[in-house]
Structure 1
Amino acid sequence: MSLFILAQLVGTIGLLINLYSFQKKTSNEMIRLHVLSNATGIAHYLLLAQSTGVAFCILVMARNILSLKLPHYFTKIIVALSIIITWVIVYMTYKNIGDIFGGICLTFASTALLYRDTPLLFRSNHIIAGFCWFIFSITSLSIPGAINSLLNISSNIIGAIRKEEFFEPLRLRLNAVRLSFK
């Protein structure tokens, strides 16, 4: 089995874990599963020999662990350090424009931590990050990464519609339409 195929299989495991995470109700539940997904991402990008992806996954995993372990008032410091380190990684490992989109993705995903008590804003930041990660994944030859980003976008949208009070009128309207066809 080639390393490329093995990398795609490992990445697919991370994809499945990540998708499941966005169906969780609280941001902390999502973040716990993101840590596990990031661990598979490290292996995935190592197998692809994509140093930017490895560094990004290590950074995101560390950021997520710190955000869960440290008191909430450290969040702004974690976010600021994460954004600074993200752009240092982009500068040091830059290969193509995709790496810049990876940096933009991590910037939005980091700022999402500021909204972890507001899942709708948390999910919104991850939707934007998903578009940027898609471009990064395509340029990194990460098939699961590209699929993951598209599915993360749709999963975040579905999760928000299913769980957020903001979308209650939409849920009621969709239910009324569904009942009218019976």
Structure 2
Amino acid sequence: MPDFLLSQVLASITLIIECYAMQHKNKNTILALLSVSCFFNGIHYFLLAQPTAAFIFWFSSIRFLISIKWKFQWISALSIGVSLLIACYTYIGFLSVIGFMATVFITIGSFTKNDKLLRIMMMVGGSLWLLHNIILWTPVGILVEAIFVGSTAVGFYRYYIKDNESNVTEPKIKS
């Protein structure tokens, strides 16, 4: 099987896992599922000769697991530092910069204790990965990030907008 086709199959696995992940309310479940998806996505990028994205995603797989147990901001800062080293060491151009910027947002989100902020940071980071994949032209990768951002937005709506709308009571009209 050609590397490009295999990369698209692995991106499809990533897609399924990420869509499922962002519909959960439990932050630790989201992070565990994102860890698994990052592993497959890293292979996808490796097959497309994108070392920065591949190594960032493999490191992100570990980072998500760490962030389940520990929410220390120093670990978040250390993770961003490691991602910067990866981006500098594997730098291949503008795509390396976009991948690093996306990772900064996602790292901040994964180490927050606030589920709402997690989802916002995932939407911003996912949007940057979407831009990355459009420039790279990986069709399933584009679909992964478009659906990831959309799925995250749906989850955000379900848990933070819809719930607030249902808590608003109608004013009583006196007769």
Which TM-score band (shorter chain)? 0.7 to 0.9
Aligned residues: 169
Could you say which residue in structure 1 is the equivalent of 2:173? none
Distance 1:15 1:171 in 2: 31
Could you say which residue in structure 1 is the equivalent of 2:171? none
TM-score of the superposed pair, with normalisation by structure 2:
0.87
Displaced runs of 4 or more, over 3 A? 169-173
- Counterparts of 1:137-152 in structure 2, within 5 Å, are 137-152=133-148
Unaligned runs of 5+ in 2: 169-175
The structure in which a higher percent of residues are helix is 1
The answer as to whether partners of 2:98 and 2:128 remain within 8 angstroms in 1 is: yes
The answer as to whether partners of 1:98 and 1:135 remain within 8 angstroms in 2 is: no
Distance 1:142 1:79 in 2: 29
RMSD: 2.0
2:156 alignment partner, one of 156, 160, 171: 160
Aligned-partner residue type, residue 163 of structure 2: E
More off after superposition, 154-163 vs 138-147: 138-147
Kindly state the Cα deviation for residue 169 of structure 1 after the two structures are TM-superposed: 4.1
How many percent identity over aligned positions?
25
Unaligned runs of 5+ in 1: 174-182
Distance 1:68 1:122 in 2: 12
Aligned-partner residue type, residue 149 of structure 2: I
Alignment deviations for residues 93-113 of structure 1 (CA, whole Å, 9 cap, x no partner):
222212211111100000002
The answer as to whether partners of 1:108 and 1:128 remain within 8 angstroms in 2 is: yes
Kindly state the Cα deviation for residue 17 of structure 1 after the two structures are TM-superposed: 0.4
Could you say which residue in structure 1 is the equivalent of 2:123? 127
Aligned-partner residue type, residue 12 of structure 1: S
Distance 1:25 1:7 in 2: 30
Could you say which residue in structure 2 is the equivalent of 1:5? 5
- Counterparts of 1:17-28 in structure 2, within 5 Å, are 17-28=17-28
Kindly state the Cα deviation for residue 46 of structure 1 after the two structures are TM-superposed: 2.2
- Counterparts of 1:1-182 in structure 2, within 5 Å, are 1-69=1-69, 71-72=70-71, 75-115=72-112, 117-164=113-160, 166-170=161-165
TM-score of the superposed pair, with normalisation by structure 1:
0.84
